[in-house]
Amino acid sequence: MATLLSIVTRRAPARLRSVASAVSSQIRHISTTPLDLTCGRVPLVHIRSQEANISPSDAPTMIDEQKELQSLARAFADKEFAPKMQEWDENQHFPIDVLRKGAELGFGGLYTREDVGGSGLGRLETSVIFEALATGDVSTTAYISIHNMCAWMIDVFGSEEQRQKYLPKLTSMENFASYCLTEPGAGSDAAGLSTTAVKKGSHYVLNGSKAFISGGGSSDIYVIMARTGGIGPKGISCFIVEKGFKGLSFGKKENKLGWNSQPTRAVIMEDCEVPAENLVGAEGQGFSIAMKGLNGGRINIGSCSLGAAQASIEAAIEHVKVRKQFNQALANFQNTQFKLADMATSLLSSRLMVRQAARMLDQNHPDVASYCAMAKLHSTDECFKICDDSMQLHGGYGYLKDYKVNVYFRDSRVHRILEGTNEVMRMVASRALLSE
């Protein structure tokens, strides 16, 4: 554990250092099976943009650090998420107390700067952490990723006053955040949103509604995109809206197929008064902020899919070793072996694509949007199929709610829709190809 403590001391905020000793005894050994090899094997020469001068000879140290961060996240997921995942799913419970425990380890501000309580990590490191957390509960991890995206937007594009006002309580998860872009009439066509923001004196007055908002009604802070100008993307601006602002209300709690540990509601603005100082960036900058946020969001949701697939494969292996048919374990049948090999291959290819896109995001690569789109497309499609294949290997048992594989299956299905549908991901990738 000396290595973990040294990593925490070197890279994490003070509040993460203070709990490191207490958590160290929980650290789980991550097996070095072929399923896990790439969790720490992607070259980390450019793990963070500010570390671009690290030489190739330093890469093993960075790889070790990444695996230790993975172990910390996996230990937390195994202890705090996995035993309660099915209960949270069944009861549609939003685990606020557990989320705040995670924030004590730095999960509330993974790539937010350290002066406001963030962990200051790169997107590659964060991808590893989200995958590890998602093995315990995909839905809860996905909410953490959304919360982090909101904090990042304020950290990067907000004023210093906004950063100091909002981020300390977001990184500690004393307050929770929701991202509001999608509307009833503007899903894939995000630039077509109709929510308006009209400047009146020292306030903006917002009118409109947002649909399918994770954390809606429960979150304290809403990062909302609204139209301050004409049609098209250049007329969109970004606002921080607090739960208690006059004119803000919420729709009914949606009854969903999956993602049940996080509430989903419409966010409604009826003459909602927002102080002018809550404009993030400049007027007309909102769409650019949203799209940059979605690049990271696509990596995050791909990472959550990796976690669902990893856990599904682990569950399938455990099941086929003990389940017998025709007087022998299912694991002895070549069909089972080939299926597991295909699942592992798909997971490996997905993981490599997600990690590569995350590294490009850290490097601010000019082609990052298309790479993030392709990584999201491939990983969410393939990992959902892995979850489906795991259910198939479980047979009728996989269809019972007593078995966790059906939760991974249901939770990962929506990943092919949100953060830009996979059809839109194909559009983004093909547009980049045809513009060359």
- Return the residue matching tokens 């509040």: 15
314 is known as an active-site residue: no
- Return the residue matching tokens 């100082």: 277
Do 46 and 363 meet the contact criterion of CB atoms below 8 Å apart?
Answer: yes
* Catalytic choice (318, 382, 419, 436): 419
Spatial separation of the C-alpha atoms in residues 59 and 45, rounded to whole Å: 6
Do 376 and 420 meet the contact criterion of CB atoms below 8 Å apart?
Answer: yes
* 284 φ, ψ (degrees, to nearest 5): 90, -5
Ramachandran quadrant class, 304 (left: phi over 0; alpha: psi -120 to 50; beta: rest)? alpha
Residue of 262, 66, 248 lying closest to 146 (CA atoms)? 262
User: What is each CA distance from 103 to 74, 97, 224, 377, in whole angstroms?
Assistant: 15, 10, 23, 29
Do 320 and 393 meet the contact criterion of CB atoms below 8 Å apart?
Answer: yes
Spatial separation of the C-alpha atoms in residues 138 and 260, rounded to whole Å: 10
- Return the residue matching tokens 């089972």: 336
246 contact partners, CB below 8 Å, separation of at least 6: 271, 272, 273
User: CA-based Rg of the chain, rounded to a whole angstrom?
Assistant: 21
What would the two tokens of residue 231 be?
């049609």
Active site positions, annotated? 419
